[in-house]
């Protein structure tokens, strides 16, 4: 490097220093211009960094009133805070709020949403406080857990939880990266294990189940597992859940069509079929399930009520094609309507039960009194016949005999009436039992029409059980009566005959002349002979044990069931059923499906917080053992750090800025290499060639590479410019490559006149003088030439 | 004043000078002649080390040129004027500036006006007084070479080296250059070494002629000796050439 020895080294060093300074300055200027320009734009839109704390967005139409009320709220609840009207965008007005120092705390931020929620035209209240870090997507109730630890970090002013976000207010913007790193480290220590129940399977006490699982996990993996199962749900969760419930509801009332497919057809899921309908129309079906030769379909156009015939057809164009199979339509709405109709018919019948049971009860009471009177009557008859016996032995007065017979006749008449009454009661009991049996059967049929889980079905089942109970009680309590009555029945004719005999004897007696006692004695003796009397006497011995109290209880419990209410409820369901055609139901289900597609339907979930290093291998088995099958489990991060909007914009801007700076530095370096350094490279090559030495390497290229790397690397270092995602040392590499490129292009860029160079040598000029006086002044314009101006003589 | 002995030079494996010996006295005019590629230019450039010789000795005014330090070498060059075959003028400068340039660094103390004065005098000598402010590219080849000569003279050289000063010129222009050189040869304070193919010119002005062939001086002597009774093959050729005209 003879060029350097000649004192030209100083020139080169000055050139390099000036180049680096210029390049650095230019990069910084470009960077600051970008900052200035973009920063201004952002600040115009969002206010200066940290200027406001809240943005209240309201409908533009209501902004006057909204502003007045907001001001009022601020005056009463946030005294000292400022309200500023911001930009209007798309029909909405932004009010910016700067909270007074006093209100810069967790409590205010947690409540502030409620303060403004009722402002007219309220749309949204968003947080603007800066500097701030947001941890979002917090799993289950991990926020609380994280909050305590984050609040303990240095640089954190305060924190608050907003839904699934933890907002962290930082004391100083410069601390943001440190705090963010600390939070990241903190979150990296944990993982969340989530166990999800199937949507249709709800678990009762998730917290308890969570504790149970946490215990099992602790034991199995020897880690601290914390139960962070969430128990309250967001509005959106609820909406999604409602929609999926709605879908289930619609599904259970949608008409399903079962098609017994003919052998020839080959259908795919989703295939369209047509069914002839009224008015030359067609009802369209979509196949939703295929099970061998059985297809299930829903109605996509038309309604099941319009279907004609029992066959479905494939489509050829928009005409009916080959027969696909025979139809079986089941329309749960029609079924329900039928059930309701049948039930309403049952209501009067059920009413009858009460009337009749009442009736039966009185009847049975009568039977009891009848039995008592029967006993009395029999005793009377017994007494009278004893008297008659005595009369038969001739010891009587006629008048006395006549009155005794009259009394017997009356008593026998009573007896017949009583026995008839008992017969009636018997038939009544039997008939009522039959009635209960048929009513039960009819109710059972209705009950079968209802969903197994329906509360009405449960009520009906209760009713049926009650009726059955009543039936058996009546059975138990009346069996004896009926048996007793059955014994009286055959006697009835005999009693009647006897009664007739008594009447006849009495008539004969009344026609007898005084003194004809002999004839009377014979007649009475006939009356008291025979078995009937003995039989009657035996009957009298039997007692009748009848527990009516028990029956009464049963009837009261029946009355407690409100049949009419049940029917009313069923009618209400029928009324409340969406008045939809089948096609509309299918459309609605499709629509809900579309909306729900991709959204996670929140089934019940259990969440545990465990240390990140816990490897939960085989957790599925433990979940299954603890909570049953069909549950899915997975682990995830505790949350995601999200820098605020402006932070993000600024980050992008700073990336753009450093990229611009990097590009400026690269371009400047390239220019400097091409316009200045190429001349030096050529000079080096020329001088080296004059040496009486063999040249092993191209010193010019080495020099270019070195200078390129030095220039760019130093500029990058000084400006802090960087190409995003590319490490710093790469700048040296890029610079080196640029230098080599410059060396390659040196001859074309900045050729040195060898003749003039030689002339300089002949003058006795050293290399520095040759460069300064001869070579540089004729070179391409550049920093080198500029700096050389003060040295050159001409 | 100049003694060259056993000078050798090779480029890579080709030996260009295989041992050149000659002496030049004060005021003497020496012409070096020989076929193309025999090493004339190399020889003359070795004297002020525009070309670095491999070996041998060059004594100039009692100083060993090859042992000189870099600084001393540069001073030496300032005493030796050099005229290039291709003029080697600085294109961006005017005629006058070209002439002054070699001394601006060393004689910076001398005021510019003095230098200009001196340059104008020299220009007068080379018959270009009217072209002082002209740009180089406005000159003819002969004029350019005369500027080249003038530039070599600005340092008042005690030794003037001319490497084929007319080889790049057409015959008509050759004459005006040779006339200028002829005048210079008359000056007794300068030794002149001129490499030339102009046989008749050499005959006329040279005190000593060196005939070179294949990197060696094959014959040297006064023009009379060489062109009347040449000893070497090359000398014979030049004699034949003279007789041909
Ligand atoms: N820089 C160089 N590199 C390699 N070879 C060279 C170089 N300069 C000269 N030569 C070779 O050295 C030999 C002598 O060259 P030189 O220029 O001294 O010859 P010359 O006698 O001056 O010829 P001419 O009359 O053509 O000028 C030639 O063969 C030439 O090819
Ligand atoms: Mg030559």
User: Residue A183 maps to which CATH number?
Assistant: 3.30.70.260
Same domain, A775 and A679: yes
**Higher local confidence (pLDDT), B120 or A41:** B120
Helix (H, G, I), strand (E, B) or coil at A164: coil
Q: What average pLDDT does this structure show over A59-72? A: 81
Cross-chain residue pair A764–B104, CB shorter than 8 Å = no
Task: Indicate the helix (H) or strand (E) that contains A464.
Answer: helix A455-511
Closest to A267 measured CA to CA, from A288, A243, A251: A288
pLDDT over 60 (residue A9): yes
Cis peptide bond N-terminal to A333, omega within 30: no
- pLDDT given at position A76: 81
- Of A244-258, A297-311, A483-497, least confident by mean pLDDT is A483-497
Helix (H, G, I), strand (E, B) or coil at B31: strand
Same domain, A303 and A215: no
Q: Ligand 2 centre and the CA of B47: distance in Å? A: 14
Cross-chain residue pair A692–B70, CB shorter than 8 Å = no
Among protein residues, the one whose CA lies closest to atom 8 of ligand 1: B42
Stretch 36-55 of chain B: residues touching chain A, C-beta under 8 Å: 48, 50, 52, 54
Q: Which of A5, A691, A765 is closest, CB to CB, to B105?
A: A765
Which residues in B lie closer than 8 A to residue A691 (C-beta atoms)?
Answer: 52
Same domain, A440 and A512: yes
- pLDDT given at position A229: 76
Q: What average pLDDT does this structure show over A478-506? A: 74
- pLDDT given at position A555: 62
**Higher local confidence (pLDDT), A602 or A511:** A511
Residue A600 lies inside a defined structural domain of this protein: no
Which residues in A lie closer than 8 A to residue B115 (C-beta atoms)?
Answer: none
* Contact B45 CB / ligand 1 (< 6 Å): no
- pLDDT given at position A568: 72
Q: Which of A692, A764, A774 is closest, CB to CB, to B90?
A: A774
- Of A372-381, A486-495, A555-564, B116-125, least confident by mean pLDDT is A555-564
* Contact B41 CB / ligand 1 (< 6 Å): yes
Same domain, A147 and A271: no
Same domain, A400 and A526: yes
- Work out the pLDDT band at A192, boundaries 50, 70, 90: confident
- pLDDT given at position B134: 94
pLDDT over 80 (residue B229): yes
**Higher local confidence (pLDDT), A761 or A7:** A761
Give the domain CATH number at A305: 2.40.30
CA of B9 vs chain A CAs: smallest distance (Å): 10
- pLDDT given at position A475: 77
Among protein residues, the one whose CA lies closest to atom 14 of ligand 1: B39
- pLDDT given at position A201: 58
Among protein residues, the one whose CA lies closest to atom 19 of ligand 1: B37
* Contact B40 CB / ligand 1 (< 6 Å): yes
pLDDT over 70 (residue A71): yes
Task: Report in angstroms the alpha-carbon separations of A776 from A186, A330, A679, A768, B92.
Answer: 62, 100, 8, 10, 11
* Contact B38 CB / ligand 1 (< 6 Å): yes
CA distance A505 to A497: 12
**Ligand index nearest the alpha carbon of residue B32:** 1
Q: Ligand 1 centre and the CA of B9: distance in Å? A: 11
Q: Does residue B110 sit at the A interface (CB-CB below 8 Å)?
A: no
Same domain, A568 and A668: no
Closest to A1 measured CA to CA, from A779, A718, A729, A706: A706
* Contact B36 CB / ligand 1 (< 6 Å): yes
Exposure string of A360-381, with b = 16+ CB inside 10 Å and e = fewer, is beebbeebeebbebbeebbebb
- Work out the pLDDT band at A90, boundaries 50, 70, 90: low
- Work out the pLDDT band at B110, boundaries 50, 70, 90: low
pLDDT over 80 (residue B87): yes
Among protein residues, the one whose CA lies closest to atom 23 of ligand 1: B37
**Predicted ipTM of the assembly:** 0.96
Q: Of the candidates A299, A330, A361, which is a domain's last residue?
A: A330
Sequence-separated (6 or more) residues with CB below 8 Å from residue A148: none
Helix (H), strand (E) counts: chain A: 25, 18
User: pLDDT of B135-155, one tens digit each?
Assistant: 999 999 999 999 999 999 999
**Ligand index nearest the alpha carbon of residue A686:** 1
Residue A247 lies inside a defined structural domain of this protein: no
Strand partners, B17: B9
Q: What average pLDDT does this structure show over B162-188? A: 91
**Higher local confidence (pLDDT), A710 or A166:** A710
Residue A619 lies inside a defined structural domain of this protein: no
Q: What average pLDDT does this structure show over A84-102? A: 78
User: pLDDT of A23-55, one tens digit each?
Assistant: 999 988 988 888 788 777 766 666 666 678 888
Structure tokens at A6: 């000649």
Provide the 10 A C-beta neighbour count for residue A71. Answer: 13
Domain containing A100: what range? Answer: 49-220
**Higher local confidence (pLDDT), B75 or A447:** B75
CA distance A33 to B203: 77
In chain B the domains, ranked by start, together with CATH numbers, are: 1-79+158-164+195-245 (3.40.50.300)
Among protein residues, the one whose CA lies closest to atom 5 of ligand 1: B11
Counting residues of chain A whose pLDDT is more than 70, the rounded percentage is 78
Q: What average pLDDT does this structure show over B8-36? A: 93
pLDDT over 60 (residue A544): no
Residue A243 lies inside a defined structural domain of this protein: no
Q: Ligand 2 centre and the CA of A42: distance in Å? A: 73
Q: Ligand 1 centre and the CA of B21: distance in Å? A: 18
Sequence-separated (6 or more) residues with CB below 8 Å from residue A113: A125, A162
**Higher local confidence (pLDDT), A675 or A254:** A675
- Work out the pLDDT band at A166, boundaries 50, 70, 90: confident
- Name the residue of chain A whose CA is nearest to B85's CA: A755
Cross-chain residue pair A793–B54, CB shorter than 8 Å = no
Q: Which of A298-302, A374-378, A380-384, B159-163 has the highest mean pLDDT?
A: B159-163
- pLDDT given at position A550: 63
User: pLDDT of A129-154, one tens digit each?
Assistant: 878 888 877 776 777 778 888 888 88
- Of A118-132, A351-365, A734-748, B89-103, least confident by mean pLDDT is A351-365
- pLDDT given at position A453: 67
Q: Which of A201-210, A255-264, A413-422 has the highest mean pLDDT?
A: A255-264
Q: Which of A391-400, A609-618, A778-787 has the highest mean pLDDT?
A: A778-787
Kindly give the number of the ligand 1 atom that is closest to the alpha carbon of B42: 18
pLDDT over 80 (residue A67): yes
- Of A462-466, A630-634, B49-53, least confident by mean pLDDT is A630-634
Q: What average pLDDT does this structure show over A333-345? A: 72
- pLDDT given at position B196: 94
- Of A30-39, A87-96, A679-688, A756-765, least confident by mean pLDDT is A87-96
Among protein residues, the one whose CA lies closest to atom 31 of ligand 1: B37
Cross-chain residue pair A762–B89, CB shorter than 8 Å = no
CA distance A45 to B45: 76
Residue A641 lies inside a defined structural domain of this protein: no
Among protein residues, the one whose CA lies closest to atom 20 of ligand 1: B37
Residue A282 lies inside a defined structural domain of this protein: yes
- pLDDT given at position A49: 67
- pLDDT given at position A282: 83
Provide the 10 A C-beta neighbour count for residue A315. Answer: 16
Residue A761 lies inside a defined structural domain of this protein: yes
Question: Residue A73 in contact with residue A116, Cβ under 8 Å?
Answer: yes
Same domain, A557 and A436: yes
* Contact B9 CB / ligand 1 (< 6 Å): no
Q: Of the candidates A517, A542, A573, which is a domain's last residue?
A: A573
User: pLDDT of B37-73, one tens digit each?
Assistant: 999 999 999 999 999 999 999 999 999 999 999 999 9
pLDDT over 70 (residue A678): yes
pLDDT over 60 (residue A561): no
Q: Ligand 2 centre and the CA of B32: distance in Å? A: 10
Task: Indicate the helix (H) or strand (E) that contains A466.
Answer: helix A455-511
- pLDDT given at position B75: 93
Structure tokens at A277: 């309908």
Dump strand ranges (E) for chain B: 2-11, 14-24, 29-33, 55-60, 63-64, 80-83, 159-163, 191-195, 208-213, 216-221
Q: Of the candidates A295, A330, A365, which is a domain's last residue?
A: A330
Same domain, A427 and A397: yes
CA A417: distance to chain centroid? 73
- Name the residue of chain B whose CA is nearest to A695's CA: B12
Same domain, A210 and A343: no
Same domain, A689 and A673: yes
pLDDT over 90 (residue A467): no
Closest to A437 measured CA to CA, from A402, A472, A413, A479: A472
Q: Ligand 2 centre and the CA of B193: distance in Å? A: 13
Sequence-separated (6 or more) residues with CB below 8 Å from residue A465: none
Same domain, A34 and A68: no
- Give how many domains chain A has, as a whole number: 4
Residue A293 lies inside a defined structural domain of this protein: yes
User: pLDDT of A205-252, one tens digit each?
Assistant: 777 777 777 777 777 777 777 777 776 666 666 677 777 777 777 877
Same domain, A325 and A340: no
Provide the 10 A C-beta neighbour count for residue A267. Answer: 17
**Higher local confidence (pLDDT), A578 or A659:** A659
Question: Residue A554 in contact with residue A357, Cβ under 8 Å?
Answer: no
Which residues in A lie closer than 8 A to residue B87 (C-beta atoms)?
Answer: 755
Which residues in B lie closer than 8 A to residue A756 (C-beta atoms)?
Answer: 88-91
pLDDT over 90 (residue A162): no
Mean per-residue pLDDT over chain A, rounded: 78
Strand partners, A82: A98
């Amino acid at each position: 490097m003879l060029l350097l020895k000649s004192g030209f080294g100083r020139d080169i060093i000055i050139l390099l220093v000036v180049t680096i300074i210029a390049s650095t300055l230019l990069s910084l200027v470009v960077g600051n211009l970008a900052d200035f320009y973009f920063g201004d734009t952002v600040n115009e839109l969002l206010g200066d960094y940290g200027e406001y704390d809240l943005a209240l967005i309201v409908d533009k139409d209501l902004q006057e009133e909204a502003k007045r009320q907001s001001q009022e709220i601020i005056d009463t609840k946030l005294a000292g805070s400022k309200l500023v009207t911001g930009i209007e965008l798309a029909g909405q007005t932004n009010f910016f709020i700067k909270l007074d120092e006093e209100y810069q705390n967790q409590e205010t931020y947690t409540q502030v949403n409620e303060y403004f929620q009722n402002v007219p035209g309220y749309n949204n209240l968003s947080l603007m406080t800066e500097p701030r870090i947001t941890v979002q997507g917090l799993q289950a109730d991990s926020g609380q857990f994280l909050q305590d630890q984050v609040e303990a970090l240095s640089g954190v002013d305060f924190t608050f939880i907003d839904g699934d976000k933890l907002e962290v207010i930082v004391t100083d913007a410069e601390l943001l990266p440190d705090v963010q790193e600390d939070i990241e480290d903190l979150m990296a220590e944990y993982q969340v294990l989530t166990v999800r129940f199937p949507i249709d399977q709800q678990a009762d006490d998730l917290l308890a189940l969570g504790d149970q699982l946490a215990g099992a996990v602790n034991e199995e993996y020897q880690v601290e597992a914390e139960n962070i199962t969430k128990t309250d749900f967001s509005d959106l969760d609820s909406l999604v859940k409602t929609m999926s419930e709605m879908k289930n509801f619609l599904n259970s009332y949608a008409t399903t069509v079962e098609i017994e497919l003919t052998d020839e057809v080959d259908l795919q899921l989703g295939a369209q079929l047509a069914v002839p309908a009224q008015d030359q129309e067609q009802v369209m079906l979509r196949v939703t399930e295929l099970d061998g030769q059985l297809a299930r379909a829903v109605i996509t156009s038309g309604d099941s009520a319009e279907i004609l015939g029992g066959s479905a057809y494939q489509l050829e164009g928009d005409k009916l094609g080959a027969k696909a199979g025979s139809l079986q339509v089941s329309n749960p709405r029609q079924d329900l309507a039928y059930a309701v109709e049948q039930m309403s018919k049952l209501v009067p019948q059920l009413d009858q039960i009460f009337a009749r049971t009442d009736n039966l009860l009185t009847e049975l009471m009568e039977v009891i009194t009848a039995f008592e009177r029967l006993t009395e009557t029999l005793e009377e008859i017994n007494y009278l016949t004893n008297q008659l016996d005595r009369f038969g032995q001739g010891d009587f007065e006629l008048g006395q005999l006549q009155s005794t017979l009259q009394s017997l006749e009356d008593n026998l008449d009573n007896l017949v009436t009583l026995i008839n009454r008992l017969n009636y009661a018997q038939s009544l009991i039997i008939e009522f039992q039959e009635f209960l049996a048929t009513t039960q059967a009819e109710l059972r049929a209705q009950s079968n029409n209802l969903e197994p889980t329906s509360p009405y079905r449960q009520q009906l089942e209760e009713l049926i059980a009650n009726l059955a109970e009543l039936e058996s009680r009546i059975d138990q309590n009346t069996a004896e009566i009926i048996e007793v009555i059955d014994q009286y029945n055959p006697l009835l004719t005999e009693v009647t005959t006897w009664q007739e005999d008594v009447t006849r004897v009495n008539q004969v007696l009344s026609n007898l002349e005084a003194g004809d006692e002999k004839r009377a004695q014979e007649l009475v003796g006939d009356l008291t002979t025979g078995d009937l009397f003995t039989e009657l006497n035996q009957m009298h011995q039997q007692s009748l044990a009848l527990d009516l109290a028990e029956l009464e209880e049963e009837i009261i419990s029946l009355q407690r069931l409100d049949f009419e209410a049940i029917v009313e409820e069923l009618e209400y369901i029928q009324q409340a059923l969406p008045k939809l055609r089948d096609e509309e139901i299918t459309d609605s289900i499709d629509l809900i499906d579309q909306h729900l597609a991709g959204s996670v339907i929140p089934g019940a979930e259990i969440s545990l917080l465990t240390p990140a290093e816990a490897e939960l291998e085989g957790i599925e088995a433990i979940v299954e053992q603890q909570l049953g099958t069909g549950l899915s489990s997975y682990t995830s991060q505790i949350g995601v750090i999200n820098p605020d909007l402006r932070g993000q914009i600024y980050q992008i801007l700073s990336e753009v800025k450093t990229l611009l700076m990097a590009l400026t530095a690269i371009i400047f370096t390239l220019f400097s290499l091409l316009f200045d350094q190429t001349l030096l490279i050529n000079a080096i090559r020329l001088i080296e060639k004059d040496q009486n030495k063999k040249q092993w390497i191209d010193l010019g290229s080495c020099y270019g590479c070195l200078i390129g790397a030095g220039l760019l690397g130093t500029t990058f270092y000084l400006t802090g410019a960087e190409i995003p995602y590319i490490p710093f040392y790469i700048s040296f590499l890029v610079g080196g490559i640029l230098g080599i490129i410059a060396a390659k292009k040196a001859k074309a860029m900045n050729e040195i006149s060898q003749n003039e160079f030689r002339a300089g040598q002949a003058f006795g000029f050293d290399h520095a003088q040759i460069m300064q006086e001869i070579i540089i002044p004729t070179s391409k314009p550049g920093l080198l030439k500029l700096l050389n101006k003060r040295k050159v003589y001409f | 004043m100049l003694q060259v002995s056993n000078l050798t030079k090779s480029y890579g494996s080709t030996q260009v000078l295989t041992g050149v010996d000659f002496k030049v006295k004060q005021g003497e005019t020496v012409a070096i002649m020989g076929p193309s590629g025999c090493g004339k230019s190399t020889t003359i450039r070795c004297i002020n080390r525009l070309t670095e010789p491999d070996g041998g000795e060059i004594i100039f005014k009692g100083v060993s040129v090859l042992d000189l330090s870099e600084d001393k070498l540069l001073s030496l060059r300032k005493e030796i004027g050099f005229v290039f075959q291709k003029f080697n003028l600085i294109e961006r400068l005017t005629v006058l500036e070209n002439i002054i340039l070699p001394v601006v660094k060393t004689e910076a103390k001398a005021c510019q006006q003095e230098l200009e004065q001196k340059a104008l005098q020299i220009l007068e000598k080379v018959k270009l007084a009217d072209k002082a402010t002209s740009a180089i590219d406005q000159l003819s080849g002969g004029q350019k070479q005369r500027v080249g000569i003038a530039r070599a003279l600005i340092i008042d050289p005690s030794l003037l080296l001319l490497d084929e000063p007319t080889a790049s010129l057409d015959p008509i222009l050759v004459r005006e250059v040779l006339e200028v050189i002829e005048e210079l040869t008359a000056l007794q304070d300068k030794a002149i070494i001129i490499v030339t193919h102009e046989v008749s010119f050499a005959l006329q002005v040279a005190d000593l002629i060196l005939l070179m062939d294949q990197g060696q001086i094959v014959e040297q002597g006064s023009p009379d000796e060489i062109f009347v009774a040449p000893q070497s093959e090359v000398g014979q050729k030049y004699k034949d050439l003279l007789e041909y005209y």
